[in-house]
Amino acid sequence: MAEDAYTDRRRRLQARLRTIDADAVICAPSRNLQYLTGLEMEPSERHFLLVVPASGPPTALVPALEETAVRETTSVAAVYTWRDDDDPRAAVRSLLTSVGVRGGRLLVDDTMWAQFTQDLRAVAPDATWGLASEALTALRITKDESELDALRAAAAAADATVEDLRARDDVIGTTEAALAAWIRERLAAHGGSGVAFEPIVAAGENGAKPHYRHGDREIRAGDPVVCDFGTRVDGYPSDTTRTFVAGSDPSPAYERVHGTVRDAQVAGIDAIEPGATTGAVDDAARSVVDAAGYGDAFVHRTGHGVGLEVHEPPYVVADGERTLESGMVCSVEPGIYLEGRFGCRIEDLVIVTDDGAERLNTTDRGWEW
């Protein structure tokens, strides 16, 4: 992404801060920092902060060993440093003083480590505090074209991996863990960078645990197998789920469940359009499951937003009041989970468009393996 795009994001954040009467956002290494600067970093024990004030230049405080990388890879002009033998709390005090935000209403990264929030509170005792999402969600929830292109590319890598998976005729006797490792390899082969989350490969009764990962259970003929995975392209993730049946035709009970989930997903996606509420989309999918008699076995929301984070607003949840807008991206993933027997989930990512919904995942949603 061009550097001026990050500068523009910071300017739009400043305008948002003025609208909501807040004085600054303070970010640590996080997806918010990545959104505002392009820096993709893991948090560490060293103080690394970006202060974006409502007015004035955004300013960073970084460990001295990170200075060159920050100056070379971001458009943040004001960069202060501290060394390992300095007092980091004193450095934070100097940062806030230089930006002029030792008081007022300050919004900190929602995922900032407590260590850093405590230091901020100590050096700005007269400030009032809130969460950065109050300002940033409104910016991040709708995606620009560069973000949508990255999401499409990540989804294409996941879809190609689904096709590879469906083409395998040797999964009987393979462990869930071995298949998960193979999925990782295929995602990379199709242009993905790592995995967006630990892949789920849940065979038979394990499929009834929605966020089971994988283990040493071998896949047996007739097992429904829930496969949920994704990768990243340019920092943006994919997230798709297909449920296959290995080695033989499924039981009539499973066929009925799979058909119900498939119909529920269609109903949910058909309900997506600008102006619809997240609750209406959830209800459209959930009512299909309820009507089939499996309502108690649909134990999670219908979907979640996807952006730099795999799970972010908008959340497609019962009675959700958020109104969908063009450019939002969310999953639609109804599921039915019968404890001790099997589970079934089908998941696609969808872009809200002026005309309704654009599916990012286009592979077959049947159980055939």
Between 207 and 369, where is the model more confident?
Answer: 207
pTM recorded for the entire structure: 0.95
- pLDDT one-digit tens code per residue, 78-136: 999 999 999 999 999 999 999 999 999 999 999 999 999 999 999 999 999 999 999 99
Picking from 303, 320, 293, the residue whose alpha carbon sits closest to that of residue 268 is: 303
Average pLDDT over residues 149-162: 98
Fold exhibited by the domain 3-140: Creatine Amidinohydrolase; Chain A, domain 1 (3.40.350)
Is the pLDDT confidence value at 240 over 80?
Answer: yes
How many whole angstroms separate alpha carbon 9 and alpha carbon 142? Answer: 12
pLDDT digits (tens, 9 = 90+) for 46-58: 999 999 999 999 9
Q: Compute the Cα dihedral for 197, 202, 208, 209 and give only its sign.
A: negative
Q: Where in the chain is the domain with CATH 3.40.350.10?
A: 3-140
Q: State which CATH number among 3.50.30.40, 3.90.230.10, 3.30.70.260, 3.30.450.40 fits the domain covering 145-359.
A: 3.90.230.10
To the nearest whole percent, how much of the chain has pLDDT over 70?
A: 99
Give the pLDDT of residue 4.
83
Is the peptide bond prior to 314 cis by the omega test (within 30 degrees of 0)? yes
Instruction: Tell me what pLDDT residue 39 has.
Output: 96
Average pLDDT over residues 247-276: 97
Strand order in the sheet with 224-229: 200-203, 224-229, 240-245
Residue 176 structure tokens: 């869930």
Q: pLDDT of 190-238, one tens digit each?
A: 999 999 999 999 999 999 999 999 999 999 999 999 999 999 999 999 9
Contact (Cβ atoms closer than 8 angstroms) between residue 301 and residue 316:
yes
For 2-33, the pLDDT digits (tens) are 568 999 999 999 999 999 999 999 999 999 99
Confidence of residue 40 (pLDDT cuts 50, 70, 90): very high
Neighbours of 172 (CB within 10 A): 15
Question: Looking at the chain, which residues constitute the CATH 3.90.230.10 domain(s)?
Answer: 145-359
20 phi and psi angles, rounded to 5 deg: -95, 10
What integer is the mean pLDDT of 308-327? 98
Euclidean distance between CA atoms 80 and 93, whole angstroms: 12
Q: Are 157 and 187 in contact (CB under 8 A)?
A: yes
Over the stretch 157-199, which tens digit does the pLDDT of each residue have?
Answer: 999 999 999 999 999 999 999 999 999 999 999 999 999 999 9
Give per-residue burial for 85-117: e unless 16+ CB within 10 Å, then b: eeebeebbbebbebbebbebbbbbbbbbbeebe
